[in-house]
Chains A and B, each alone.
Chain A
Amino acid sequence: MPAKTKFEVKPGPATREAFGRTLAELGRENKDIVVCDADLSKSTMTTYFATEFPERFVSCGIAESNMTAIAAGLALAGKIPVVASFSAFMMNKGFEQLRCLVAYPKLNVKVVGTHSGISLGEDGPSQMSVEETALACALAGFVVISPADEISCKALFRAAMALKGPIFLRTGRPKAPVIYRAGQAFEIGKAVEVAPGTDVTIITNGLLVAQAMLAADTLESEGVAARVLDMHTVKPLDREAIRRAAAETGAIVVAEEHLVDSGLGVRVAQVVGETAPCPMEFVGIHDTYAESGQTDELLDKYGLVARDVAAAVRKVLARKRS
């Protein structure tokens, strides 16, 4: 096996920053884009759009339900509304309106959650989101995207804005480790193989892609070739990539910054069960809420670092062999 280049963690811009910059660019290209924000524009980074296009920015105050429904009204009038807030508030406080006013009539509303997962850090569990992917996937007809870094976030958000229909983009607060080089192609619903391998597959997205890459390097030194798939689109899943991973590597670990009960892992398991059943292990948040702390401390304490991914791989490989 040829020696791979070791993955090095190089912090890049946060995915929320990539979203905000891309939104302002798109605002220049399309006059129909209108942005709604609930007093968090300086954190969600819709501030770049708001500063450039104040007439197309709807300040909604701290009222996410009303904001989401206003966006639905804008879509009914033919606009392309983008609503943004912390994932926790966007999905939990806006969910009823997302269900009845966006998903059910299938309106072209673009929903963006920032500060997703527990990696937002010091603010603690009331601001954290460990269930946004589950909620977004429970909305019929939604496309759900969880990019890993700046380059993938920009490309996938652009692609999502070009779709007709509702989407949820999951972004994060902290600096996101660089995964991709400029020019990398992305397609909604198509996983990216970020590391090749034949012994086991790690399926992941968001911040955990970097941890999976680090884990793959550790495993390589143990003689294990781990394939790593960036499953940036959680809905619709890349069923073919999952089927191939299950059939070709015979063992799968899913790693995500989300409750393991209801996120990417269970969705992947459904496809594995339907196509090529194999042993699986799951890295994620286990039936709890986190606490205040720095991003790295939290990921470490709650079992979301390379060490945990590698441990899950060893476990799944033991099951594969038995």
Chain B
Amino acid sequence: MSRSIEELQVIAKRIRREIVEMIGAAKSGHPGGSLSAVEIVVELYFNHMKIDPKNPQWPDRDRFILSKGHAAPVLYAAMAEAGYPDTPIDKLNTLRTLGSIYQGHPDMRFIPSLEASTGSLGEGLSLGIGLGFAARLDGRPSRTFVMMGDGEIQEGQIWEAAMAAPFHKLDNLVAIVDYNGIQLDGFVKDIMEVAPLAEKWRAFGWHTLEIDGHDPRAVRLAFEEAAITKGKPTCIVAHTVKGKGVSFMENNPKFHGVAPTPAEVALALKELQ
């Protein structure tokens, strides 16, 4: 499913609008960390990953695990745009309402095409190890991409997994840190500093890249480099902006976990024309 950078930028803008709209409709949710992840998720779902949305259980598919499950809106919008049978685009605005398939955090019981149910932070990278180990055991080409938040990696289990993946030489596993610098209570540096980040992942044995997570070319190149890196997993430290694309949300801790008001939704959609 190869697509040009320009095509991806159009999709990314559409997904940003859907994120704002669905969280606005839900009157709750996490806009900041959904918007910061858009370029990465779009490159994966619309260019890099070997997937067949019409055949979501294809055994040789690549898999995406949203370990920072609170950014569910970006995943829902991307899967809906990609055309999975169980993520209808016209239902996105039912997010977080009773009976909706679009649960507050990704839930496989409602959307079987999801690769995992996530939400409790710190756990997705380990899932990626299990998936990577199984793919290698079966001789499948499947690769697994795990996106984590920068606040999320304060969880100890992340570092258990960070130690284990290079030990098992899982070069079919790619970790992405959405390094937007903000968590619920404020700036990451004020809550629990995680820097220096790239140095930590390198020290644990990962092939580590640092990129601008909003530059679609840099994102594409990083995944291409990960694909040809053998013998060790790759970690992409993606410098991003929380709330990217909506001026009053950008770099504003308030919009980690607060929905925009109807007036703010209108303003945001205007900016995202």
Contacts and interface: CB of A to CB of B under 8 A. Distances in A.
Interface of A: 34, 55-56, 58, 60-61, 63, 65-66, 68-79, 81, 96-97, 100-101, 104-106
B65 to A, nearest CB: 8
B137 A55 contact: yes
B163 A61 contact: yes
Contacts of B164: 60-61, 63, 66, 70
A60 B117 CA distance: 22
Given A55-B137, A63-B160, A66-B160, A75 B119 contact: no
A185 B126 CA distance: 39
Contact of A65 (B59, B131, B157, B168): B157
Contact of A101 (B109, B127, B160): B127
B157 A69 contact: yes
B123 A97 contact: yes
28 contacts: A34-B134, A61-B164, A61-B167, A65-B126, A66-B126, A66-B160, A66-B161, A68-B126, A69-B127, A69-B161, A70-B126, A70-B127, A70-B129, A70-B130, A71-B130, A72-B116, A73-B116, A74-B130, A74-B133, A76-B127, A77-B131, A78-B134, A81-B130, A97-B123, A100-B117, A100-B119, A105-B108, A106-B109
B127 A34 contact: no
B150 interface: no
Contact of B117 (A58, A69, A70, A104): A104
Contact of A105 (B109, B132, B133, B137): B109
Contacts of B167: 61
Given A66-B157, A73-B126, 19 more contacts: A61-B164, A61-B167, A65-B157, A66-B126, A68-B126, A69-B127, A69-B129, A70-B161, A72-B116, A72-B126, A73-B132, A76-B115, A76-B116, A79-B137, A97-B126, A100-B119, A101-B123, A105-B108, A105-B109
B134 A100 contact: no
B100 interface: no
B135 interface: yes
Contacts of B126: 65-66, 68-70, 72-73, 97
A72 B133 CA distance: 12
Given A63-B164, A66-B157, A101-B123, A73 B130 contact: yes
A69 B123 contact: yes
Given A73-B130, A78-B134, A58 B168 contact: yes
A76 B131 contact: yes
A68 B161 CA distance: 11
Nearest to B157: A65
B73 interface: no
Given A63-B164, A66-B164, A72 B130 contact: yes
Interface of B: 59, 108-109, 115-117, 119-120, 123, 126-135, 137-138, 142, 156-157, 160-161, 163-164, 167-168
A92 to B, nearest CB: 14
Query: Which one of B116, B130, B137 has the greatest number of beta carbons of chain A within 10 Å?
Result: B130
B134 A105 contact: no
B120 A77 contact: no
Contacts of A76: 115-116, 127, 130-131
Contacts of B109: 105-106
A73 B117 contact: no
Nearest to A64: B160
A79 B123 contact: no
Contacts of A56: 137
Nearest to B138: A77
A73 B160 contact: no
Contact of B160 (A58, A65, A74, A75): A65
Given A34-B137, A65-B160, A72 B108 contact: no
B248 to A, nearest CB: 34
A77 B142 CA distance: 10
A158 to B, nearest CB: 23
A65 to B, nearest CB: 5
A75 B116 CA distance: 11
Nearest to A68: B126
A251 B119 CA distance: 46
A106 B115 CA distance: 13
Most buried by A among B156, B161, B167: B161
Contact of A69 (B119, B130, B134, B163): B130
Q: Most chain-B CB neighbours within 10 Å: which of A70, A101, A104?
A: A70
Contacts of A72: 116, 126-127, 130
B72 to A, nearest CB: 15
A76 B157 CA distance: 19
Contacts of A77: 130-131, 134-135, 138, 142
Q: Name the residue among A69, A75, A101 with the largest chain B CB count within 10 angstroms.
A: A69
Given A65-B160, A105-B108, A70 B123 contact: no
Nearest to B146: A73
Which of A58, A65, A73, A76 is most buried by chain B, counting CB atoms within 10 A of its CB? Answer: A73
